[in-house]
């Protein structure tokens, strides 16, 4: 009898989850280039946690609430400014926060190499990230990390279930969705549809301020984080120009026909 | 595919097409007619029927020695596995390329399309996904590529495919539609979204789209979301109905040839991007347009 009970406990492996979060511009902010076109001007604009990363963290917290996860660690890469998103992560409910200190803005490949170093050190069962970051719009870090680690990957995930210690994920494909099954350790990237992230309560935010943020240097985790990509210039794309106002549905259809050759 | 092949012509050299799947012989035969191709490389396998990122990455890695440039259309398919390939090959992947210039200089958009970045890559293998709506299609026939069958590597067995759900619709796919009609949150409900927009959409043979706000409000399924977090479209005619014109939506439709906006708020941002703006209550205007077309 006693044995049976023990066995039941064992069959439910609780995961340690690592959630990578990025500090990006608020999604309502319109970012502009610097006047010399050398880079974007993000001085003084509103910054926060990348929305997709917030979905990733929310899902980790829900897995812990279902007693499928034990420890949730949030990690971010950059200078000390990134402590604000890590504290946001702690306030949402993460157990630990790690800042990987880097002076440079790393490209996805560099980020993936640094995270690989951290995964080898921390050995999480599941790594969750957002499917893309609002600044670079690259959407690559999770897949790159999975490739470097030779882990299974589930990208653009809108649903995560766990059955017999296997992950069952629903994910976006062209024209629909598919369902994949995989063992841990694995890398998953979150879609906005995965969940609705919780609001952070003020007392939690106050408590998160007192928590320690662990620090490690990017160079200790990966020896080479450089890439062969050089930014030449940034510019404002040619915008559509506002056209004319029409006064009625009839005039609209007439103009489409006469000016654009579109007959509806 | 035809647009990616024409993008590949930005470099000198032979262009091969890779086809992975189950029973690819017929597809490969047909593809051999496409102009400008030297070879069709085809790999068959039962495990390639529902292609997994781990297997696709393994195959491209295996073939990568022979190529300097690897391109695909920017799609959920390529976005899933090409970053994995890039990491394995220790090169960068440049996604959603808008423009290709000489010497591996590219333009891509960042910050939700508010900024364009021009970048230079010195990687030994150039790995790209292409913003296809900005490239012309190559000729679909007149070619005579040779078909080469290669053995596929053993399954990686890291993930297993369970099932898939393709959203079926009699309407054209958003990405290929000549006309796209999108609704915003002003439609007010799921019922209105369908009742007001569907008759016009079907009358003109358009695809139906929605803004993120309308999707978030539950008026429309996410599959039809147009924007940075959804699908990017560039039809002949884009009609934005009750759409405010948020950054992330404009990102998904600004390459359309003609844009029409219908909104009862004369100050709505969307009018700044519209060739023709109609300040009107959409609940009156849309049925009226439909009626006029029928006449």
- List pLDDT tens digits, range B31-60: 999 999 999 999 999 999 999 999 999 999
Using CB atoms, which residue from A135, A176, A193 is nearest to B111? A135
**How many domains does chain B contain in total?**
2
CB distance B159–A239 less than 8 Å?
no
| Residue in chain A nearest B129 by alpha carbon | A138
| Residue in chain B nearest A38 by alpha carbon | B117
Q: Does B248 lie in the same domain as B209?
A: yes
The answer as to whether B125 is a domain residue is: yes
Domains detected in chain A: 2-260 (3.40.50.620)
What is this model's ipTM?
0.91
**B:239-268 residues touching chain A, CB 8 A cutoff:** 247-248, 254, 257-260
Strands ordered across the beta sheet of B93-101: A229-235, B115-121, B105-110, B93-101, B126-130, B69-73
- Would you place residue A6 in the very low, low, confident or very high pLDDT band (cuts 50, 70, 90)? low
Cβ A39 vs Cβ A231: under 8 Å = yes
The answer as to whether B64 is a domain residue is: yes
Q: Does B235 lie in the same domain as B144?
A: no
- B272 at interface of A, judged by CB pairs closer than 8 A: yes
CB distance B258–A174 less than 8 Å?
no
Q: Which residues of A96-113 are buried (b: 16+ CB within 10 A; e: fewer)?
A: bbbbbebeeebbbbbbbb
> What pLDDT score was predicted for residue B68?
97
Average pLDDT over residues A77-81: 96
DSSP type of residue A108: H
Cβ B135 vs Cβ B272: under 8 Å = no
Q: Does B115 lie in the same domain as B10?
A: yes
Q: Does B277 lie in the same domain as B204?
A: yes
Strand partners, B106: B100, B119
CB distance B76–A173 less than 8 Å?
yes
Cβ B35 vs Cβ B141: under 8 Å = yes
Domain CATH for B76? 3.40.50.620
- Would you place residue A237 in the very low, low, confident or very high pLDDT band (cuts 50, 70, 90)? confident
What residues of chain B lie within 8 A of the CB of A151, using their CB? 158
> Between the CA of residue B228 and those of A67, A146, B210, B211, what are the distances in Å?
35, 24, 12, 10
Q: Are strands B237-241 and B207-210 parallel, antiparallel or unpaired?
A: unpaired
Three-state DSSP class for residue B226: strand
Q: Does B30 lie in the same domain as B143?
A: yes
Consecutive H or E run containing B119: strand B115-121
Q: Does B227 lie in the same domain as B113?
A: no
Residue of A237 and B25 predicted with greater confidence: B25
* Domain coverage including residue B60: 2-150
The answer as to whether B173 is a domain residue is: no
Here the tokens at position A94 are: 């993460």
Q: How far is A156 from chain B (nearest CA, A)?
A: 8
The answer as to whether B174 is a domain residue is: no
No. of H helices and E strands in chain A?
8, 15
CA distance B111 to A40: 9
What lies within 8 Å, CB to CB, of B99 at 6+ separation is B106, B107, B134
Average pLDDT over residues B276-286: 97
Summarize pLDDT for A48-61 with one digit per residue, the tens. 999 999 999 999 99
Q: How far is B150 from chain A (nearest CA, A)?
A: 23
The answer as to whether B163 is a domain residue is: no
**B:143-162 residues touching chain A, CB 8 A cutoff:** 158-162
Here the tokens at position B46 are: 């039962």
pTM over 0.90: no
> What pLDDT score was predicted for residue A13?
75
The answer as to whether B164 is a domain residue is: no
Nearest to A113 by CA among A136, A140, A93: A140
Q: Does B191 lie in the same domain as B126?
A: no
| Chains A, B: CB pairs < 8 Å | 240
What residues of chain B lie within 8 A of the CB of A193, using their CB? 222
CB distance B280–A168 less than 8 Å?
no
Summarize pLDDT for B215-248 with one digit per residue, the tens. 988 899 888 999 877 788 989 999 999 999 998 8
The answer as to whether B27 is a domain residue is: yes
Q: How far is B146 from chain A (nearest CA, A)?
A: 29
CA distance A77 to A96: 15
Nearest to A94 by CA among A27, A156, A49: A49
CB distance B118–A231 less than 8 Å?
yes
Q: Does B92 lie in the same domain as B37?
A: yes
Across chain B, mean pLDDT equals 94
Summarize pLDDT for A187-217 with one digit per residue, the tens. 999 998 899 899 999 999 999 999 999 999 9
Mutate one of B107, B115, B218, B227 to test the A interface: name it (highest A CB count within 10 A): B115
CB distance A230–B292 less than 8 Å?
no
Is residue B174 over pLDDT 90? no
Q: Is B161 exposed, middle or buried (0-12, 13-18, 19+ CB in 10 A)?
A: middle
Consecutive H or E run containing A172: strand A166-173
The answer as to whether B285 is a domain residue is: yes
Residue that is written with structure tokens 């394995």 in the block: B88
Consecutive H or E run containing B149: strand B146-150
Summarize pLDDT for B117-162 with one digit per residue, the tens. 999 999 999 999 999 878 988 998 999 999 999 999 999 999 999 9
Q: Does B135 lie in the same domain as B218?
A: no
CB distance A40–B275 less than 8 Å?
no
Average pLDDT over residues A222-240: 91
Nearest to B174 by CA among A174, A260, A261: A174
Domain CATH for B248? 3.40.50.1220
Using CB atoms, which residue from A27, A40, A193 is nearest to B222? A193
Q: Does B102 lie in the same domain as B16?
A: yes
Q: Does B100 lie in the same domain as B198?
A: no
Nearest to B39 by CA among B57, B3, B12, B13: B13
């Amino acid at each position: 009898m006693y044995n049976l009970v023990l066995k039941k406990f064992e069959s439910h492996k609780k995961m340690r989850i690592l959630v990578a979060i990025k500090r990006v511009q608020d999604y309502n902010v319109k970012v502009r280039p610097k006047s010399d076109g050398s880079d974007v001007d993000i001085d003084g604009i509103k910054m926060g946690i990348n929305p997709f990363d917030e979905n990733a963290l929310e899902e980790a917290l829900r897995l812990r609430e279902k007693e499928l996860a034990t420890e949730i660690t949030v990690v971010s890469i950059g200078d000390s400014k990134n402590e604000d998103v890590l504290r946001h992560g702690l306030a949402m409910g993460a157990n630990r926060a790690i800042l990987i200190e880097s002076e440079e803005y790393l490209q996805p490949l560099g980020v993936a190499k640094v995270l690989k170093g951290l995964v080898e050190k921390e050995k999480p069962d599941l790594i969750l990230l957002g499917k893309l970051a609002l600044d670079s719009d690259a959407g690559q870090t999770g897949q790159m990390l999975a490739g470097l680690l030779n882990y299974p990957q589930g990208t653009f995930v809108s649903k995560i279930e766990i059955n017999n210690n296997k992950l069952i994920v629903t994910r976006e494909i062209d024209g629909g969705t598919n369902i994949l099954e995989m063992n841990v350790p694995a890398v998953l990237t979150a879609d906005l549809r995965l969940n609705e992230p919780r609001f952070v309560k003020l007392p939690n935010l106050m408590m998160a301020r007192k928590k320690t943020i662990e620090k490690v240097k990017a160079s200790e985790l990966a020896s080479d984080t450089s890439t062969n990509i050089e930014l030449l210039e940034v510019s404002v794309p040619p915008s559509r120009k506002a056209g004319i106002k029409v006064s009625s549905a009839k005039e609209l259809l007439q103009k489409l026909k006469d000016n654009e050759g579109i007959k509806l | 595919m035809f647009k990616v092949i024409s993008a590949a012509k930005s470099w000198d050299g032979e262009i091969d097409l890779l086809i992975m799947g189950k029973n690819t012989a017929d597809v490969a035969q047909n593809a051999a007619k496409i102009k400008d191709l030297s070879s069709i490389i085809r790999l068959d396998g039962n495990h390639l029927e529902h292609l997994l990122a781990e297997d696709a990455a393994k195959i491209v890695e295996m073939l990568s020695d022979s190529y300097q440039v690897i391109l695909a259309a920017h799609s959920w398919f390529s976005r899933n596995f090409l970053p994995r390939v890039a990491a394995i090959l220790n090169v960068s992947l440049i996604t959603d390329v808008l423009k290709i210039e000489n010497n591996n200089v590219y333009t891509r958009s960042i910050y939700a399309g508010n900024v364009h970045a021009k970048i230079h890559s010195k990687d030994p293998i150039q790995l790209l996904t292409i913003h296809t709506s900005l490239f012309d299609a190559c000729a679909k026939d007149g070619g005579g590529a040779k078909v080469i069958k290669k053995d596929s590597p053993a399954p990686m067995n890291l993930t297993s495919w369970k099932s898939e759900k393709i959203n079926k619709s009699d309407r054209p796919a958003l990405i290929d539609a000549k006309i796209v009609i999108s609704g915003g949150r002003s439609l007010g409900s799921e019922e209105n979204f369908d009742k007001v927009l569907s008759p016009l959409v079907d009358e003109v043979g358009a695809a139906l789209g929605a803004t993120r706000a309308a999707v978030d409000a539950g008026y429309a399924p996410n599959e039809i979301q147009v924007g940075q977090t959804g699908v990017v479209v560039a039809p002949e005619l884009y009609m934005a109905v009750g759409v405010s014109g948020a950054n992330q939506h404009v990102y998904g439709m600004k390459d359309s040839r003609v844009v029409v906006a219908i909104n009862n708020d004369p100050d709505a941002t969307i009018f700044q991007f519209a060739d023709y703006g109609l300040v009107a209550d959409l609940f009156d205007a849309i049925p009226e347009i439909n009626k006029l077309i029928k006449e």
